Structure 1
Amino acid sequence: MQFSVKVTDYQKNIMLNICDVGLLGKKIIQDDLNMNISKNYYGEKLVDKEEAILLLKNSSIINMVGQQTISLSLELGIGSENGIKSISGVPFLIVFKM
């Protein structure tokens, strides 16, 4: 299992953008909502599950898209099912760790 990620330093916090590989480059539309899962935002590199786990655990701000990504995050106790939103059936979740 692979994930597409981009890691940046944002105001002295590690920000992780992570998505299911199969969603990279897709545009999702539902009514007036548009989500562009761009390579610029999510596609710095591909990582395996083990590296994704380390990144999820060590990041302060996480933008995630896709069923596999969010399932992994929830398994790690990061985020809540109550925070998951969906556009055209594609789930996304944003987490801020304090």
Structure 2
Amino acid sequence: MKVFLNVIRAQGMVLVNICQVELLGKVFKDGDIILDINEKFYGGELVELDYAFSLIDEATVMSIVGNYVVDEAIKRGIVHKDSVLSVSGVKFAQVYNV
């Protein structure tokens, strides 16, 4: 499966942002919670999901958006199921390597 991957390196941090293709550019709201899947943060290269997940070791923070992608991260042991948020039915998770 192809996903958008955007790696941002700034101030000694490496942010690895992974987004399902069909979600890029959309905004989801659930009460006061807003999930803005914007081009600046999530847009980037179109890559295979396996490659995107392979960057976990170099990531300071990995941000993962999309039901399929988050479920796959759970299956692979990257994300714990209890740490997943859902905004208007769209799953979102962050992994911190500190």
State TM-score, norm by structure 1: 0.87
Distance 1:31 1:93 in 2: 19
Partner of 1:96: 96
Partner of 1:61: 61
Ranges in structure 1 where 5+ consecutive residues have no aligned partner: none
Distance 1:73 1:57 in 2: 14
Q: % of aligned pairs identical?
A: 30
Ranges in structure 2 where 5+ consecutive residues have no aligned partner: none
String of CA shifts for 1:25-67, please: whole Å, max 9, x gaps.
Answer: 1010111221110011100111112312312354231111111
Q: CA RMSD in A?
A: 1.5
Matched-pair contact (CA < 8 Å) for 1:56–1:73: no
State TM-score, norm by structure 2: 0.87
Partner of 2:82: 82
Aligned length: 98
Farther-moved stretch of structure 1 (77-86 vs 48-57): 48-57
Displaced runs of 4 or more, over 3 A: none
